[in-house]
Amino acid sequence: MKKLSFILIFFILAGSLLRAEEGMWIPLLLKKYKIEDMQRAGFKLTAEDVYSVNQVCLKDAIVIFGGGCTGELISGEGLLITNHHCGYGNIQKHSTVEHDYLTDGFWAMSKGEELPNPGLSVTFLVRIEDVTDASLVGVTASMPSVDREKTIQKNAANIQAEAIKGTSYTAKVTPFFNGNQYFLFVYESYNDVRLVGAPPSAIGKFGGETDNWIWPRHTGDFSLFRIYAGADNRPAAYSPNNVPYKPKKFFPISLRGVEPGDFTMVFGYPGRTTEYVPSFVIESQVNYSIPASVDLRTKRLDVIMAAMETSPEIRIQYSAKKSGIANTWKKNQGVLLGLKKVNAIQRKLDFEKRFQQWADADPGRHLQYGSILEQYKDIIVKQAPFELANTYAHEAGEAPEIIGFAGRFESLIDLAAKGISPEFQKVVDNNKAGIASYFKDYDAPTDQKLLAVMMEAYAKGITPDFQPELLKKIAVDFKGDFEKYAKSVFETSVFANQDELMGILNNLNAKSVKKLANDPAFMMLKSLRKLQTEIINPGLSRGQGQIPELQRLYMKAQMEMQPEKLFYPDANSTLRITYGKVDGFLPADGIEYRHLTTLDGIMQKDNPQIYDYRVPEKLKKLYLAKDYGQYASNNTVPVCFISSNHTSGGNSGSPVINAQGQLIGINFDRNWEGTMSDIMYDPDLCRNISLDIRYALFIIDKFAGATHLIKEMQLVR
């Protein structure tokens, strides 16, 4: 097992078939496999400077921000920068019509003005360890995949417990290469994180959904937070007595800017990629689930955006929701475009033909790998209609908020049958606690329209055998008039009325619990759950248990087939390094994109008639006066740049670092054609989009007047 584990860490011989820009590399293995390539590409630091458990290094300045972004420290007083869209939910929570921080921005002019964010945490990586051998103790080649997974999970629990014994850390053993290798990650989290600054959305979301995933870009996508700790600099629950965290490391900030060909490194937490799946997995997504998702999200966005135009309050309530829906909607369209442009499915098919020839050329390989693709494809093809049904259940059935909100009370209704108990009362109290925050960002008329539109789309978009029974009944009872159905739901449902719902929870009895259980929103939820448990899940699970094992063997076989290739593992929300260079690209015949955008481009896009392109008056005045301070370059201010780093979701907010280890930008997006890099990276087409740090500093200093924050930072000229 040790020999096999060593082989599967990475294959590295004289050369690599991968372009230097491709790949998401494990920091622990940098010294052994990648640092020399990085240095040849221009990097001036050592592997120990990037990742070390023995000395302070760059990884000590990087955090998981919240649940799905990256952030980095930029001062010795715990000041942290991430994307505006990463901080958006927390900015929105603090916003009201009277204090509209989304529209106007927010800047704390002293530490006393910084705003706490309950539930927000940041997490530092303490160390990484290869635990493949320990994870596979007791695992044999002949054991069933279910037993294999149980054995590994048991081993992982022991490894994790031992790793954090006597500490306040958390630990997680994570599979790599589809379960052919395992690493332990030890973390430390801080839970007192306060909002320090955010530009107005006219800067932080300039271009809105129109420009999202698009180059050229002119978005000031950043926000500032500060980590607080106890007097001992250790994690502590929120307290007014907490003090700014003193980091081991923070990034110096370069004012030198970027030029084509400059080395760039992105250091962060990419979410999930599937670079090594076979063609039929991609084909199923391209033909079924992705187009359905795009269509259903289009319908949702049409309703929400129309409502947001009618009222400032609704605009605030639905800003974060709209962005969340639109982000995936826009990205998925780019994925379809990019996969088609690079002929991804055919490229996979060509590889699979070579793979099958390799597997069949040797009796031992044929026995072990010869039928993998056939078995795998059979499962995927049979699952396709159930995957589509699953997409409709989530993207249409659960899209109206009232249905998901009703689902919060499912455990309360189930427990009520057992009588009042401490457990029951705890569930009641938990439900009460979330009601006010839910209704703060909820508009019933908007949701009523959503219910009508999405249920009609559900009824017309998929065959009746994959629809919830209640939906089929409604279509008959209301003669296809889903607006009439939605009106009846909102006239009778307690989940649309905050006061009525609180009244029921304050006076629970058998009658009121029955009212909740028979509520039309809850009944639709139950019908959706029944569809999921009786039809969709069984259809998916018939082969679902085999897929991880088939993918593990297929991954193992790919690596054996190509011993000359240096493999990188798929992203799985663990810390990774990706490196490349500042570089433009050619998206189509006759079109060439430069590497940089500037403040001039913002002024060219200015359109007071369109919300997403309304440039703030103060920014216009700074532009007309050429009042750029130390952040100017060529008589303007750089705004965004592109480079060839291989990034994914989760890299939002990641530091973009130059050859000297200095901060030059904040990663926030990819070009539309290159969003397919989660499935297939193409070095000529895939680009990551970053905020030039000089634009962020210009906004903080000259626009917001928060010069005290600049003084905290270490600027390098």
Q: Which residues are catalytic?
A: 85, 221, 652
Helices (H) and strands (E) in the chain, counts: 31, 22
- How far is the C-alpha of 127 from the C-alpha of 150, rounded, in Å? 25
Question: Quick one: 249 exposed, middle or buried, by C-beta within 10 A (0-12, 13-18, 19+)?
Answer: middle
- For 617, the 3-state DSSP assignment is helix
Helix (H) or strand (E) holding 416: helix 410-416
For 171, what's the count of Cα atoms within 13 Å in the CB-facing half-sphere? 22
- The answer to whether the Cα torsion of 13, 561, 28, 129 is positive or negative is negative
Do residues 667 and 649 make contact, with C-beta atoms less than 8 angstroms apart?
no
Q: How far apart are CA 541 and CA 552, in angstroms?
A: 18
Q: CA 205, CA 216: separation in Å to the nearest integer?
A: 14
What is the chain's Cα-based Rg? 27
Token look-up 């290869």 returns 130
Other Cβ atoms closer than 10 A to 426: 11
Q: Residues 522-525: contacts with CB within 8 Å, 24+ apart?
A: 522/406, 522/407, 522/409, 522/410, 522/413, 522/495, 523/470, 524/397, 524/403, 524/406, 524/468, 524/470, 524/471, 524/489, 525/403, 525/404, 525/406, 525/407, 525/410
d(CA 128, CA 135): 14
The position carrying tokens 């897929």 is: 547
Tokens of 96: 């009201």
Nearest residue to 261 (alpha-carbon basis) of 577, 41, 50: 41
Q: Which of 332, 253, 296 is nearest to 716 (CA)?
A: 253
Which residue in 474, 334, 454 sits closest to 392, CA to CA? 454
- H/E stretch holding 161: helix 145-163
Task: Name every residue whose Cβ is closer than 8 Å to that of residue 187 and which is 6 or more positions away in sequence.
Answer: 64, 123, 124, 125, 126, 169, 170, 171, 172
Q: Residues 220, 699: contact at Cβ < 8 Å? A: yes
- Using an 8 Å Cβ cutoff, are 175 and 182 in contact? yes
